[in-house]
Amino acid sequence: MKTIVCMKWGYKYDGYESKLYNTVKDQCDKFVCVTDKPVNNYDILLPYDYKGHNCFTVEKLLLFNEDKLGLEGDEFLFFDLDVLIHNPVDVLWNLPSNKPYLVEGYWQNPDNFRKNFGKNGQGTKYNSSLMKWNRGQCKPVYDQFTNNMEYLSFVYFSLDNYLIHKWYSKEFFNTFPKGVAYSWYKGNVFPDDMETRVFRDDHIICMFNNSEYDDGIDNTELEQMTDIEELKDRWKI
């Protein structure tokens, strides 16, 4: 069974789970939204296992304990709600499944990545806006963080920082190939394809990732997504 998953807590992305559902519902066997406010028949209640932590978006790790969360499926794709899917995702399902997958930030200067490796508040090579894994495949990641939660949530500012620093050298993750995802705010591939705020229709996913900790700019990406007519026209709803 192929399951597509998203997560939503708080109010910032209200309604975007429905947009994602309408985009991908015919490209999976099951759709699930893990949320603190379940209202739809595809919603699962978000547990509060990591309540009070300081590690940004670490809630995603709950997905890696499928049995505890009650997630059905054998293969999983996860999408953040601030992404735009404008081509079919079958390419992602068909990738080799020997390891789980994360996004690689090809838009980053590799020299900066090496210089900032493991540092909080800096861009990382890994990005968890899109993930792919098989059932049970990421349980070691869940176990390590959960068993050392007090320490790790103090040390790491974000989930992506934790994943790159603790798991990169172990070669635990594959990364999606070039041509799958690009960044609206950061570009595509350094140094040759770095134009921002443009659509690349030959790609599958446009990510609206941005962080004030990366470049000093805190873009309100959600507001911009709803204000740009070209963006609204591309939602498959």
The pLDDT assigned to 125 comes to: 82
Q: What is the pLDDT along the chain (237 residues), one digit of tens a residue?
A: 999 999 998 888 888 899 899 999 999 999 999 999 999 999 999 987 666 677 778 889 999 999 999 999 999 999 999 888 888 999 999 999 999 999 999 998 888 766 665 555 556 788 999 999 999 999 999 999 999 988 888 888 888 888 988 998 889 999 999 999 999 889 999 999 999 988 898 999 999 876 544 443 434 555 565 556 665 655 554
Distance CA 234, CA 237 (A): 9
Helix, strand, or coil (residue 24): helix
The pLDDT assigned to 213 comes to: 41
**pTM of full prediction above 0.75:** yes
The pLDDT assigned to 235 comes to: 56
Range of the domain at 196: 2-234
Q: What are phi and psi of 195, to 5 degrees?
A: -65, 135
Distance CA 121, CA 112 (A): 13
The pLDDT assigned to 91 comes to: 95
The pLDDT assigned to 214 comes to: 42
Q: For residue 217, give the CATH number of its domain.
A: 3.90.550.10
User: Tell me, what DSSP letter sits at residue 178?
Assistant: T
Find the helix or strand (DSSP H, E) in which 160 lies: helix 159-167
Distance CA 128, CA 178 (A): 16
In the block, tokens 């519902």 appear at: 25
The pLDDT assigned to 169 comes to: 80
Residue type for 195, please? E
The pLDDT assigned to 114 comes to: 67
The pLDDT assigned to 217 comes to: 42
**On the CB side of 148, how many CA atoms lie within 13 Å of its CA?**
12
Q: Provide the domain count of the chain.
A: 1
Q: What stretches of the chain show up as alpha helix (H) in DSSP?
A: 16-24, 66-69, 90-93, 110-115, 139-147, 149-155, 159-167, 212-215, 221-227, 229-234
